[in-house]
């Protein structure tokens, strides 16, 4: 019997993994899952010699939370095993493809004006903590900055003092997604807010390196930002349930698009500017926001990237 696999499926599992090795396909993650399946089959179906729906589905759902659907990684592993067995002439159950599809992500929450007022009122209610006297100031500023400039959460957290130029009203976002740098302008009210925060933070921590610096001397981790965001939501009466800090970036983009529509701008001409401002690698990522406002954008005809960027004419 195989030293690594112990069920009646041991030889077939190893043969499948060896085939993947020969094809140059990744083995580690599938091997780990198949070890779990192997142990499950031996324990729950010790006399079973054929891959049936009962054992395949039983393993996928074993230990899973009710009403959450099958774990994708387990479903993919046992489906791959079933397909392999059939390919070598062994009768086997193949888990339906629907089981291995990624669940469709819910569209991000779009704040109404009333909700935004409530959210930032909540931000302004955040007070200091024993370890962070500036917690309230940071929450009030960082989330306003993320909405105003469409920053990714990490981009906001990782801003250095030298990256924030309140005199010339511009941020420098360094080595963001795709390892690209970009300059992000902001308006005068935001400039005054950032300058005021910087002065207060400097009085507490002179010569700090990070704009939103943690007590450890480094930037705040993602968990801190998530915690403060949810704290602001709670203080705002629970607005935007299910949303996360990244939601503010989504709202920046959709509000820019909405403003352009109301001003009668040609989105086909403008989208390149939004793409550069947000630091997108391609127009596909920017055009995604077109789909978040179907009622407002339907009249523009911009329902896909093909309507935004013309095809290359040869």
Using an 8 Å Cβ cutoff, are 266 and 308 in contact? no
What's the N-to-C CA distance of the chain in angstroms?
A: 62
For residue 107, tell me if it sits in a domain.
no
Q: Which of 32-36, 83-87, 282-286 has the lowest mean pLDDT?
A: 282-286
If asked whether residues 77 and 168 sit together in one domain, one would say no
Does 314 score more than 50 pLDDT? no
For residue 18, tell me if it sits in a domain.
yes
For residue 3, tell me if it sits in a domain.
no
If asked whether residues 255 and 289 sit together in one domain, one would say yes
The pLDDT tens digits for 3-54 are 589 999 999 999 999 998 888 777 777 898 999 999 999 999 998 999 999 9
If asked whether residues 240 and 281 sit together in one domain, one would say no
Which residue segment(s) compose the domain that 125 sits in? Answer: 113-245
More confident residue, 313 or 229: 229
Does 189 score more than 70 pLDDT? yes
What CATH number is attached to the domain comprising 132? 1.10.443.10
Using an 8 Å Cβ cutoff, are 201 and 155 in contact? no
Does 274 score more than 70 pLDDT? yes
Mean pLDDT for 81-103 is: 90
For residue 211, tell me if it sits in a domain.
yes
Q: What percent of the chain has pLDDT over 70?
A: 87
If asked whether residues 286 and 186 sit together in one domain, one would say no
Mean pLDDT for 69-83 is: 86
pLDDT for position 310: 36
Handedness of CA 144, 148, 150, 151 (dihedral sign): negative
Task: Mark which of 100, 133, 161 sits at the end of a domain.
Answer: 100
For residue 4, tell me if it sits in a domain.
no
pLDDT for position 3: 58
pTM for the full predicted model: 0.65
For residue 1, tell me if it sits in a domain.
no
DSSP 118: H
If asked whether residues 15 and 135 sit together in one domain, one would say no
pLDDT for position 85: 95
Residue 44: its H or E element:
helix 28-44
If asked whether residues 125 and 73 sit together in one domain, one would say no
Among 45-54, 99-108, 142-151, 175-184, the range with the most confident prediction by mean pLDDT is: 142-151
For residue 106, tell me if it sits in a domain.
no
Residue 215: its H or E element:
none
Task: Mark which of 100, 129, 160 sits at the end of a domain.
Answer: 100
Give the number of domains in the chain. Answer: 3
Distance CA 143, CA 130 (A): 22
Q: Which residues contact residue 265 at a Cβ distance below 8 angstroms, ignoring those fewer than 6 apart?
A: none
If asked whether residues 146 and 178 sit together in one domain, one would say yes
pLDDT band at 70 (very low <50, low <70, confident <90, very high): low
Using an 8 Å Cβ cutoff, are 73 and 31 in contact? no
For residue 196, tell me if it sits in a domain.
yes
Q: Which residues contact residue 15 at a Cβ distance below 8 angstroms, ignoring those fewer than 6 apart?
A: 84, 88
Task: Mark which of 245, 260, 287 sits at the end of a domain.
Answer: 245
pLDDT for position 304: 45
If asked whether residues 238 and 255 sit together in one domain, one would say no
If asked whether residues 236 and 118 sit together in one domain, one would say yes
If asked whether residues 147 and 217 sit together in one domain, one would say yes
- Spatial CA neighbour of 301 closest among 268, 275, 259: 268
DSSP 2: -
If asked whether residues 224 and 117 sit together in one domain, one would say yes
Task: Give the total residue count for the chain.
Answer: 314
If asked whether residues 45 and 60 sit together in one domain, one would say yes
The pLDDT tens digits for 211-266 are 999 999 999 999 999 999 999 999 999 999 989 999 999 999 988 988 888 888 88
Does 306 score more than 60 pLDDT? no
The pLDDT tens digits for 161-182 are 999 999 999 999 986 665 678 9
């Amino acid at each position: 019997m195989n030293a690594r696999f112990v069920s009646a499926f041991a030889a077939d599992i190893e043969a499948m993994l060896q085939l993947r090795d020969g094809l140059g396909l990744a083995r580690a993650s599938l091997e780990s899952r198949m070890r779990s399946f192997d142990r499950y089959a031996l324990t729950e179906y010790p006399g079973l010699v054929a891959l049936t729906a009962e054992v395949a589905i039983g393993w996928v759902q074993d230990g899973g939370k009710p009403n959450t659907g099958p774990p994708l990684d387990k479903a993919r592993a046992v489906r791959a095993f079933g397909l392999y067995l059939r390919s070598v002439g062994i009768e086997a159950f193949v888990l339906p493809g629907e089981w291995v599809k990624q669940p469709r992500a819910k569209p991000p929450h779009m704040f109404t004006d009333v909700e935004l007022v409530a959210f930032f009122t909540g931000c302004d209610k955040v007070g200091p903590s024993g370890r962070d006297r500036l917690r309230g100031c940071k929450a009030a500023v960082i989330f306003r900055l993320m909405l105003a400039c469409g920053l990714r959460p990490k981009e906001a957290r990782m801003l250095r003092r030298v990256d924030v130029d309140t005199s010339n009203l511009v941020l420098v976002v360094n080595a963001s997604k795709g390892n690209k740098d970009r300059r992000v302008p902001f308006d005068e009210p935001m400039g005054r807010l950032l300058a005021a925060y910087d002065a207060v933070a400097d009085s507490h921590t002179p010569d700090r390196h990070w704009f939103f610096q943690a007590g450890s001397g480094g930037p705040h981790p993602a968990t801190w930002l998530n915690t403060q965001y949810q704290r602001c939501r709670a203080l705002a009466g629970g607005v935007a349930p299910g949303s996360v800090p990244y939601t503010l970036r989504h709202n920046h983009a959709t509000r820019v698009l909405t403003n352009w529509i109301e001003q009668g701008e040609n989105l086909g001409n403008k989208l390149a500017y939004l793409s550069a401002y947000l630091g997108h690698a391609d127009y596909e990522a920017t055009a995604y926001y077109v789909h978040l406002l179907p009622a407002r954008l339907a009249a523009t005809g911009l329902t896909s990237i093909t309507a935004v960027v013309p095809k290359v004419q040869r």
